[in-house]
């Protein structure tokens, strides 16, 4: 069920030595204590028979989970491999399925189960304060992406060119969706667009082609990936100037168990070093995200 791959990247002691104060054995020992159910909100919703209650003999290894539908998986994995290398650890990757409802029902319990049973960090999450149940914590962001405004009509150069009362598509409950909703609310009633949230990026792009919507707010790396993998779908679509009022940036990082505080600190420090020495920027370029709005280390 899981695709687990062990990293063979060589460690980089020159970097880690400067900020890893304790002996590596201590890190390994602490990681060994991570497995085991927590007593907090989610535990009542998880069948404990499905949790591994023993301590995993992980050895010198850090585990990363990824969702199979995440379009930035290759970049995230490269970041994670580098994090592991800087911690002098082997890395292991576990791929998770991502079939959840629009309302996300069941996801938090599954994340909890995955972080107990399968891995230490789930990659590719929008990170911020207070976004998750108390069982979880987040790493510092390793990148931030922005949203892009896309249109099919060649005459549109900015949002103001889009006639009022026409529909503007968004990804449902995305930061851009929220920003557009707030912006529309500030405008005079006769100058308002209709916001139409979508559940799937490819449907959002199709909506532009079919004329259901006049413009679309879409996450930068998602549009870049669709453009590369399905050029026909994005043919004729072009970015237009995004109004400052609907600019919306998402910081991306990892999700961890709250009790993994020591490991989280070390992961954060590894990410900081990768931001400082330009590694994140290089990885963005290498994975085709050099031309979209992206900020190494987040904002």
Partner 1 sequence: MRIMTLASATSALAIVLATQGFAQEAPATGAQEAQAAQEPQVPEEVLRSQETELEAQQPGLQTELAEETGAAEAGGRTYTPVTAEMILDPAPGDWLQARRTVDNKAHSPLDQINQDNVQNLELVWSWALPELGRQESAPLYHDGIVFVATNNNHIEALDAVTGDLIWRYMHERPEFSGGYHENQAMRQKNSIALWNDKVITTTVDAKLMALDALTGQVVWEVQVNDWERGYSYTAGPLVADGKIFTGTSGCSMVGTVGACWITAHDADTGEELWRYNTLDQPGDQLFEASWGGVPPQNRWGATPWATGAYDPELDMIFYGSGMPIPYAHISRGMSAEDDARGTNSTMALKADTGELVWLYQHLPNDNWDLDSPFERLIIEAEVDGETRKMIVTAAGKNGVVFGLDAETGEFQWGETTFYTNSITGIDEETGRVQTNDELYFTEFGQQQTFCPAINGGRLWMASAYSDRTGIFYMHGANTCQTSAPREMSLGAMPAVGESMGMFQSFGTSLAPGAENIGAFHALNAADGSKAFEIQHDRRYNSSVLTTGGGLVFVGDVDRRYYALDDETGDVLWTSPRLHAPAGGYPMTYEADGEQYVVFPVGLTSNAQQSLTPGLEMPALGANALYVFKLSEG
Angle at 2 between CA 118 and CA 89, to 5 degrees: 50
The first and second tokens of residue 11, run together, are 């460690």
The pattern of x and - marking residues 9 through 48 that bind partner 1 according to CB under 8 A reads: -----------------------------------xx-xx
Among 26, 172, 276, 299, binds partner 1 (CB under 8 A): 172
CA angle 97, 101, 104 (to 5 degrees): 85
101 to 140, contacts with partner 1 by CB under 8 A? 101-110, 124-126, 131-132
Which residue in this structure is represented by tokens 């070390």?
A: 266
Q: Look at residues 257, 221, 19 and name the one whose alpha carbon lies nearest to residue 135.
A: 257
Considering the complex, what minimum distance in angstroms separates the CB of residue 4 from partner 1?
16
**x/- letters, 260..299, toward partner 1 (CB under 8 A):** ----------------------------------------
Q: Which is nearer to partner 1, 152 or 218 (CB)?
A: 218
Among 9, 24, 181, 245, interactor with partner 1 by CB under 8 A: 181
Judged by CB under 8 A, the chain residues 47 through 106 that form the site for partner 1 are: 47-50, 67-72, 96-106
Residue 142 binds partner 1, judged by CB under 8 A: no
Q: 271-276 contacts: CB < 8 A, separation 24 or more?
A: 271/79, 271/83, 271/139, 271/140, 271/141, 271/142, 271/297, 272/140, 272/297, 273/15, 273/18, 273/19, 273/86, 274/79, 274/82, 274/83, 274/86, 274/142, 275/142
Taken in order 117, 118, 121, 124, the sign of the CA dihedral is: negative
Instruction: In whole angstroms, give the CA distance from residue 148 to residue 159.
Output: 11
Residue 47 vs 190, nearer CB to partner 1: 47
Shortest distance, position 258 Cβ to partner 1, whole Å: 16
Residue closer to partner 1 by CB (options 48, 238) is 48
Residue 12 C-beta: closest distance to partner 1, Å: 26
Binding site for partner 1 (CB under 8 A): 1, 44-45, 47-50, 67-72, 96-110, 124-126, 131-132, 145, 167, 170-175, 177-178, 181-182, 194-203, 212, 219, 221-222, 225-226, 250, 252
């Amino acid at each position: 069920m899981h695709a687990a791959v062990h990293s063979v990247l060589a460690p980089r002691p020159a970097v880690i030595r400067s900020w890893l104060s304790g002996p590596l054995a201590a890190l390994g020992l602490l990681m060994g204590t991570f497995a085991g159910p927590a007593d907090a909100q989610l535990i009542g919703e998880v069948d404990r028979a499905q949790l591994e209650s023993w301590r995993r003999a992980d050895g010198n290894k850090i585990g990363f989970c990824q969702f199979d539908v995440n379009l930035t998986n290759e970049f995230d994995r490269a970041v994670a491999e580098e994090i592991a290398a800087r911690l002098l650890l082997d890395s292991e990757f576990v791929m998770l399925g991502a079939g959840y409802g629009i309302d996300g029902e069941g996801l938090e319990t599954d994340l909890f189960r995955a972080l107990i049973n399968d891995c230490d960090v789930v990659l590719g999450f929008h990170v911020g304060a207070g976004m998750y149940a108390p069982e979880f914590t987040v790493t510092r962001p390793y990148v931030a992406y922005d949203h892009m405004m896309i249109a099919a009509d060649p005459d549109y150069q900015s949002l103001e060119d889009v006639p009022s009362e026409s529909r503007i598509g968004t990804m449902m409950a995305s930061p851009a969706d929220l920003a557009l909703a707030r912006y529309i609310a500030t405008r005079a009633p006769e100058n308002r667009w209709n916001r139409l949230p979508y559940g799937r990026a490819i449907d959002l792009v199709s909506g532009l082609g079919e004329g259901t919507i006049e413009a679309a707010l879409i996450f930068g790396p998602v549009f870049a990936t669709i453009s590369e993998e399905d050029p026909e779908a994005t043919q004729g679509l072009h970015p237009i100037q995004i109004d400052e009022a609907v600019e919306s940036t998402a910081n991306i990082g990892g999700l961890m168990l709250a009790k993994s505080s020591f490991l989280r600190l070390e992961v954060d420090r590894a990410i900081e070093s990768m931001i400082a020495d330009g590694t994140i920027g290089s990885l963005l370029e290498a994975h085709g995200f050099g031309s979209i709005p992206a900020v190494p280390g987040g904002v």
